[in-house]
Structure 1
Amino acid sequence: MAERQQSTSGFIQAQRLAQADHFTAVCPEPGYKGSAYRLAPHRREFNLAPSIREAAPAYFNEKQITWHIHASHGLSSQVCCLNFLMPLATRPDALSRVIANALGIEPPEMLEIECGPNSEPWFIGFEWIGERDYLNEGGASSSRTRGANATSSDAILRFRHAGRIETLLIEWKYTETYGAPIPNKVREGAARTPNEVRADRYRERMFAPNGPIRNDLNLKLEDFFWEPFYQLLRQQMLAFQMEKAREAETDRVRVLHISAAGNRRLHAVTSKALNRFGVDAFAVFAETLVDPAAFVCRTIEQVFGPLMAEMPEDPWAAYLAGRYTFLAPTDPGDGLPRSRQS
């Protein structure tokens, strides 16, 4: 475990250095509150790839999507997801090749998700919460906001392959690590703890046949109140309910988890109750599912590397390769990009 933590620490430090270098190169006011890898809120657009600096805010505003609190942080996973995927929202051919890499299939036919800010068809949506309140998260009014206070997949896409329509809900991670259970602090004046609210909301939607989790493993909802398992559970429940409802006439809904290969600590099994299933969090989570194939775990390098290598001069690929240094070869000793070891 010590070796794994050291490697992850090297990865995170390398990305801090890379983002600091990037902001110094592109932003007229780099750094914020003593952190070179953060930007002042009014400089947030420089955290986005040039090709989406206008489209992303317009899209979020039009769809009433909430930005994550750290949208001006260089290590933001939301921004990382947008930089990789949003430029492909209007490029279905390139997007199809990315999905082929992720799933090990022939390039599928991409299907429109929704209209973008210029009323053109977009083949990716972001901060997706489903067309209905499948998880009872909106209360009596069923009012929900994409990106806040409801289960939101970082991205959604849909395609036709082998005569079937399939939807992918994408969960994206960059430098996150986890260890402690999710907070259960009671708000002043609240009658119930957060975990009691979660239990009422999700327990009947968790286990088979009404949910994706096996009912023969002697597990309970509270065993998943540790990240990343709590997020994974909610994403998988959303996928299960969308498939059950045949949202957008889809035949299958799966969760595609994407993260950087160097972030090894993200794979730690944080829940003691789930330790008996293995040592890799994502393999363990798949073991708890009735259909393990409904959850797919890939690295950013696996999904995007082949296409980027084929088109290095493309502005999209060039930007990603220049900014996200983990895409370049690293020294296994410290996780730092070779270009930073002189």
Structure 2
Amino acid sequence: MKFRDSEKLRYQRIKPILFSEAAQIQGNYRKIPRSFCLADEYASENLFTAIRKPAIQYFDQRNIPWHDGLNRSRLPSNHLCCSQSCCVNFLYPLVENRPLAEEIFRAFYPGLSELLPFDRDERLPNGAFPYIAFEWIGSLDFLGESKRKGNSRTRGANATSADFAFRFRRQDGREQLVLGEWKYTEEYGGSDLGIEARKKNYDRAFNNGPFGEQGPSLYDSLFFEPFYQLMRLQLLAQEMEGGDLGHEMDCDVVTVLHISPEANSEFRERVTSPHLKATYPSTGTLEIWKRLAPADKFLSISVERLLETIGQSTTGDLAWTDYLTTRYSW
């Protein structure tokens, strides 16, 4: 059984444990009642209770749409396999909790000395800047996407967005910005997305760095999801670090962090690009990307490992940890 299907079945079993009685009623997703969805008017319960109000407020104040969100995308999706809600459930509790965020991220970035406020984001209601930003597209149009699409950039839509982002000062004194990509039950087919307009959009950035040294055949092979997303986020990191528009947030280093379930073999093992599949036989998607990305610019960890790290933290909230363990232990 595919990971996505097994998760849908699991949610049917654990709905009574996690959600209110009213929320457990089948919700509509794409106009069809689904047992793995919350009742439409209770979509907000897709988020952990303690972060529900502040997270929705964070997105609303920044005009960030929720993916497949209800109430004109101002509320989370009611689909329980929603990747965005999963990401927010894991990371929003770190937005104001610097000690907890440092403890968790240091497990993956041992050179982390001090987490820094994300001061290009808007301030929180308490007047402070968050330590994690969601759907970050950059303070400038580093990839020139608005020129192609002919509209203003929106966080989380119509522009390459990091699902989450944070910055820290390293022990060597340099400042590092991390752009994050989060996956949950996603799986992808083999559609070639390489229309000419897209290729023209990212061609300059591709040839402006190490990727360009690998030739046009690599470029053409990356317009298959999820490689297309990985390429765009990696190019965004490249341009934020040292592109024509300068350094994002004055950071010295900009890297990509990818988080996805180890259990989602459909995402991790299926290689959708014919050229990459032939070039790297018997190699999964993320391992291929590790080989393609510039050295030390890409890190992949599993949701399972992140959950284990949170469970071992000394400053985490027990109710939040129990919620994550119940909901995301597949």
TM over 0.5: yes
Aligned to 1:39: 38
| Aligned residues of 1:62 and 1:117 also touching (Cα < 8 A) | no
- Read off the aligned partner of 2:324 and give its amino acid letter: L
Correspondence 1:323 to 2:317: no
Contact 2:307 2:324 in 1 (8 A): no
One-letter amino acid of the structure 1 residue matched with residue 27 of structure 2: Y
Select which of 164, 168, 175 maps to 1:155.
164
1:20 aligns with 2:12: yes
Equivalent-residue separation in structure 2 for 1:233 and 1:64 (angstroms): 26
Computed over aligned residues only, the root mean square deviation of the Cα atoms, in angstroms, reads: 2.1
Identity over aligned residues, as a percent? 33
**Runs of 5+ in structure 1 lacking a partner?**
1-5, 185-194, 327-342
1:284 counterpart SS class: helix
Secondary structure of residue in 2 paired with 1:292: coil
- Which range moves more in the overlay, 252-261 or 67-76? 67-76
Q: Residues 179 and 257 of structure 2 are in contact (CA less than 8 Å); yes or no, is this contact kept in structure 1?
A: yes
Give the superposition deviation at 1:151.
0.3
Report the equivalent of 1:241. Answer: 239
Partner AA of 1:248 in structure 2: M
Amino acid at match of 2:44: E
Tell which deviates more after alignment, 21-30 or 146-155. 21-30
Task: Tell me which residue corresponds to 1:202.
Answer: 202
**SS of the residue aligned with 1:158?**
strand
Choose the corresponding residue for 2:298, options 280, 295, 299: 295
Equivalent residue runs for 1:87-166 within 5 Å: 87-103=93-109, 105=110, 107-113=112-118, 114=121, 115-139=123-147, 143-162=152-171, 163-166=173-176
Superposed CA deviations along residues 150-178 of structure 1, whole A, max 9, x for unmatched, are: 10010000011121110110100001111
- Specify the code of the residue in structure 2 equivalent to 1:155: F
Tell me the SS of whatever aligns to 2:299.
strand
Matched AA of 1:285: W
- TM-superposed CA distance for 1:182, in Å, is 4.7
How much has 1:22 moved relative to structure 2? 4.3
User: C-alpha separation between the residues in 2 aligned to 1:179 and 1:97?
Assistant: 37
Matched with 1:29 is 23
Amino acid at match of 2:235: M
Q: Which amino acid aligns with 2:274?
A: K
Alpha-carbon distance change, 142 to 41 in structure 1, aligned in 2, over 3 angstroms: same
CA 1:218–1:172: 2 relative to 1, 3 Å: same
Q: Classify 1:224/1:116 alpha carbon distance in 2 versus 1 (closer, same or farther; 3 Å).
A: same
Which has the larger displacement, 279-288 or 243-252? 279-288
What is the rounded CA distance, in whole Å, between the counterparts of 1:151 and 1:259 in structure 2? 19
> Partners in 1 of 2:35 and 2:214 — Cα distance?
50
Does 1 or 2 have the higher relative contact order (CA < 8 Å, sep 6+)? Answer: 1
Q: TM-score, normalised by structure 2?
A: 0.86
Q: State the TM-score, normalizing by the size of structure 1.
A: 0.83
The question of whether the paired residues in 2 share the 8 Å contact of 1:18 and 1:325 is answered with no
Alignment correspondent of 2:288? 284
SS of the equivalent of 2:213 reads coil
Code of the residue aligned with 1:213 in structure 2: it is F
